[in-house]
Homo-oligomer: A and B are copies of this chain.
Amino acid sequence: MRSRRADYSESTRSALVDSAVELFTKRGYAGTSLDEVAKRARVTKGALYHHFSGKQALFEAAFDAVEGEVFDRLTKIMQGPGAPWERALDGLRTFIKSCLDPAYQRIAIHEGPVVMGWERWREAEDHFSFGLVRTSLEDLVAAGEVDDVPVEITARLLFGALSSAATVIAGAEDQKKVGAEVEAVIIQLLNRIRRPSGDRAT
């Protein structure tokens, strides 16, 4: 039997995280005050400092929240049916779409490395979307779908390119159009590193 207090506590905590995600997305980390976050969650700073050790910790909670959503969406696709190559392309499309979420964009991609510090951000990303990009690339190499590239490096480059792409799309007038262009360029690029089907390991 879960206690009543635990429910309340969890509720206010998640309210704080939601509030944080919203405000960090709109005004950025430096631009949002903790009083504001607390107010929007209908509590005071005292409650905030009871649940989180400080502003950074609150940011990391918000980071985990937005990353978690994207992660869930992507893992569903990655574990779904279909050949490795098609799953990878599906994942690619979904990732680009996820990158259009302003919250993911600003919190996870842009301000994450700055606020958390790059080292910590990198560690966190390993368990989230970057980790998926890497393993998915590993799978492709293992299946013999692509040439034997250095996975770690290539994954980093790909992830960086995708992040930039997301930013470009988000800032574009016609997001649909630019999004399609980006997808085309990436897919064309991936096709170039794809092995001719005769050379693939089974």
The answer for the CA separation of A48 and B22 in the assembled complex, in Å, is: 35
The answer for the CA separation of A178 and B89 in the assembled complex, in Å, is: 28
List 13 interface pairs A-B (beta carbons < 8 Å), by A numbering: A28-B114, A110-B113, A114-B114, A118-B167, A118-B171, A119-B171, A122-B171, A154-B185, A157-B164, A157-B165, A159-B164, A161-B164, A192-B192
Counted per complex, copies of this chain come to 2
* In the complex, A12 has a CB within 8 A of chain B: no
The answer for the CA separation of A30 and B161 in the assembled complex, in Å, is: 27
The answer for the CA separation of A193 and B178 in the assembled complex, in Å, is: 21
Give the residues in chain B near A143, CB-CB below 8 Å: none
Q: Is there an interface contact between B153 and A181, defined as CB atoms closer than 8 Å?
A: yes
In the complex, how many angstroms separate the beta carbon of A119 from the nearest chain B beta carbon? Answer: 7
* In the complex, A66 has a CB within 8 A of chain B: no
Q: Number of A residues whose C-beta is below 8 Å from B?
A: 36
Give the residues in chain B near A167, CB-CB below 8 Å: 118
Interface string of A169-188 (1 = CB under 8 A from B): 00100000010011011101
Give the residues in chain B near A153, CB-CB below 8 Å: 165, 168, 178, 181-182, 185
* In the complex, A67 has a CB within 8 A of chain B: no
* In the complex, A158 has a CB within 8 A of chain B: yes
- Given A30-B30, A153-B178, does the pair A110, B114 have CB atoms closer than 8 Å? yes
Give the residues in chain B near A181, CB-CB below 8 Å: 150, 153
